Amino acid sequence: MEQQFIMRGGRPLHGEVTIGGAKNAALGIIAGALLTDEEVIIENLPDVRDVNVMLEALREIGARVSRTDRHTVSILASEVSGVSVDDEFIRRIRASYYFIGALLGKYQRANVPLPGGCAIGSRPIDQHIKGFRALGSEVQIRNGCVAAEAEEGLRGAHIYLDVVSVGATINIMLAAVLAEGRTIIENVAKEPHIVDVANFLNSMGANIRGAGTDTIRIRGVRRLHGTSYAVIPDQIEAGTFMCAAAASRGDVLIKNVIPKHLESISAKLLEMGNTIIEYDEAVRVIGSVMQRPTDVKTLPYPGFPTDMQPQITVTLALARGSSVVTESIFENRFRYVDELARMGSRIKVDGNVAVVEGVKRLSGASVNALDLRAGAALVIAGLCAEGVTTVNEIGYIQRGYEHFEEKLRGLGAEIELADSERDAQRFRLRAL
Ligand code: UD1
């Protein structure tokens, strides 16, 4: 049996929760560790499935990877023996594409499967490939893999991205830091994790400027050295707990965050009538009993993150009145609405727009996670619903949330992780 979360809803969340390191920054940073032969120590690394798959892939190509504690890892890539990363696990994650940029940058060759990840849209990587080609690499797609080779080494180039892409921005940075000469990448993504990966590379001796703006300038250097670097807090994990606090009408202090990264989320929760108190490294969310509807449109940073769209939709589903949620990044990101409907929500989807009619209460049901953020949103729904909710296929959720259920239990939620049919039955009976 796939693991399940079983929960009984109805309890407002109360207390404090500490946010871990940013998964999406960590994934780029782990690949970046390949760019030096010296030791790289990464701290505040989240212990989640996608991160562990990336670390395992590094090991498979000959890097020495050792955990000094649960959130710190040491990587020594001086004895990497292959440029081909491929196994059934790496095929399932999206960030495998960062191995193309990193291997190409360091060894001028890479062979990596076309990325998997959550089925939230078509998710092409044409902009990554365009960047690698501009830097002087040949790129071919062969047998489901991206084969890249720059026989004469990579040379700096002027690259304009046709779409604002987080993955392409980081990937091209990874390839360009050791390229000869100057690279300018225009129309880049500005997400906090782009800045974090750039800071990490700079701490290894790279020369990257402009991360966090529309244009990134890189002066190639001959070699990079080792570093010790702490990953920034996870914007999306923090946002998820903010929505959980608001939707459950709770009062939660969310610690170890960068409040600036949460502004678009705070803004929406405030518009709904919730109270948000910002501290230097924490935010407190006090959920209002009567929440107002509002409209949300996902956009690249500093806009509202697409990775928060399902969680805010669930929060709006319990507000009083109708809201419009527009998804402008991925075309297929409302599939979870059918699952939510089983819990009594009233949401109509037309293309990339969802009209959310707030309901007074949701009722427990058995639902499927479908993807990482949708899974988290269904857990929030379950915690607010009357009765027992089972969220199936939680492997998706574990890709990006470390001990989600433990953290929620720490806030007073009644939620259990069931490993077996027996567990599941026991938990369900106890919850009834
Ligand atoms: C990353 C995140 C993901 C987040 C997304 C948007 C990781 C591992 N994943 O995904 O959690 O939801 O950013 O913040 O960091 N596009 C192209 N061609 C390309 C690349 C992208 O057309 O070559 C399009 C995509 O289809 C999408 C948009 O650009 O519509 C944004 O995608 P992108 O920012 O690249 O997302 P990912 O890197 O896949």
Per-residue pLDDT at 294: 98
Provide the domain count of the chain.
Answer: 2
More confident residue, 424 or 398: 398
If asked whether residues 245 and 191 sit together in one domain, one would say: no
Q: Quick one: 247 and 226 in the same domain? A: no
* pLDDT, position 429: 73
User: Which atom of ligand 1 is nearest the CA belonging to 307?
Assistant: 12
What is the per-residue burial (b if ≥16 Cβ within 10 Å, else e) of 389-402?
bbbbbbebbbbbbb
From 395, 410, 379, 285, select the one nearest 8 (Cα to Cα).
379
117 shares a domain with 254:
no
Residues 151 and 265 in one domain: no
0.75 cut: is pTM over it?
Answer: yes
Span 313-335, average pLDDT: 96
C-alpha 165 – ligand 1 centre gap (Å)? 5
Helices first, then strands: H and E counts in the chain: 14, 23
- Among 196, 213, 230, the domain-final residue is 230
Cis, peptide link before residue 300, omega less than 30° from 0: no
206, 230, 254 - which closes a domain: 230
Going by alpha carbons, the residue nearest to atom 25 of ligand 1 is 123
Task: Report whether pLDDT(367) > 60.
Answer: yes
Amino acid identity for residue 216 in this structure? I
Does the C-beta of 123 come closer than 6 Å to ligand 1?
A: yes
Q: Which of 215, 230, 245 is the last residue of a domain?
A: 230
Q: Are residues 253 and 363 in the same domain?
A: yes
Q: Which domain holds residue 400?
A: 4-20+233-431
Q: What is the CATH number of the domain that holds 88?
A: 3.65.10.10
Instruction: Provide mean pLDDT across the span 38-60.
Output: 95
Query: Do 220 and 241 lie in a common domain?
Result: no
pLDDT confidence tier of residue 271, bands split at 50, 70 and 90: very high
Q: Which of 384, 377, 386 shows the shortest CA–CA distance to 314?
A: 377
Residue whose CA lies nearest to ligand 1 atom number 31: 165
Question: Atom 29 of ligand 1 has which residue's CA nearest to it?
Answer: 165
Same domain, 108 and 197: yes
pLDDT digits (tens, 9 = 90+) for 14-44: 999 999 999 999 999 999 999 999 999 999 9
Query: Is residue 46 scored above 70 in pLDDT?
Result: yes
Residues 13 and 86 placed together within one structural domain of the fold: no
Spatial neighbors of 62 by CB under 8 A, at least 6 apart, are: 77, 79, 80, 81, 82
Question: Are residues 222 and 245 located together in one domain of the fold?
Answer: no
> Could you tell me which of 99, 130, 116, 106 has the C-alpha nearest to residue 28?
99
pLDDT tens sequence across 83-136: 888 777 777 788 889 999 999 999 999 999 887 655 555 678 999 999 999 999
Which residues contact residue 28 at a Cβ distance below 8 angstroms, ignoring those fewer than 6 apart?
Answer: 95, 98, 170, 174, 193, 196, 197, 200
Residues 283 and 325 in one domain: yes
Mutate to test the pocket of ligand 1, among 163, 185, 232 (most ligand atoms within 8 A of CB): 163
The per-residue pLDDT for range 166-182, each reduced to its tens digit, is 999 999 999 999 999 99
Contact yes or no for 350/334 (Cβ under 8 A): no
Q: Which atom of ligand 1 is nearest to the CA of 95?
A: 8
Residues 215 and 254 in one domain: no
Average pLDDT over residues 239-265: 98
> Are both 261 and 154 inside the same structural domain?
no
Parallel/antiparallel/unpaired status of strands 227-230 and 39-43:
parallel
pLDDT at site 71: 97
Quote the CA–CA distance of 31 and 33 in Å, as a whole number. Answer: 5
Catalogue the E-assigned strands of 99-249.
109-113, 138-142, 145-149, 158-160, 182-186, 207-209, 215-219, 227-230
Ligand 1 closest atom vs CA 330 = 30
